Amino acid sequence: MILEVNRSSFGLTSHLVTDAMGNKAYLRLLFNTPWRTIVVSDKATDILSSKIILNLNEPSKIEDVSWIKPMSSWVYGGRCM
């Protein structure tokens, strides 16, 4: 995504970046896209304390999440390790 700033009006305009064929997206009707947000502040602490991303998500449909454990994985040769 490209973000253009109008310095006289302080307006922000965003544009999707095209792929090698000049397309911005490949979609089938009907479709939904995820939220895209831009958080702007004079202080980094304001950005870190922002709850905007949490507030955009709908509540979890999984009632008991105690079994979910954080982990990391990586892909090597097409296999998840």
Q: pTM of the prediction?
A: 0.40
Which residue would you say has higher pLDDT here, 42 or 71?
42
Q: Give the span between the Cα atoms of 14 and 56, in whole angstroms.
A: 19
- Kindly state the tokens that stand for 24: 């911005």
pLDDT at 39 > cutoff 80: yes
Query: What is the pairing mode between strands 79-80 and 2-6?
Result: unpaired
Cross-strand bridge partners of residue 2: 15
Contact (Cβ atoms closer than 8 angstroms) between residue 38 and residue 14: yes
Task: pLDDT band for 8, please (50, 70, 90 cuts).
Answer: very high
Q: Considering the chain, what percentage of its residues have pLDDT values greater than 90?
A: 22
Confidence of residue 15 (pLDDT cuts 50, 70, 90): confident
Q: What is the helix (H) or strand (E) element at residue 43, kind and residue range?
A: none
Of 2-6, 57-61, 68-72, 74-78, minimum mean pLDDT range: 74-78
Amino acid, res. 2: I
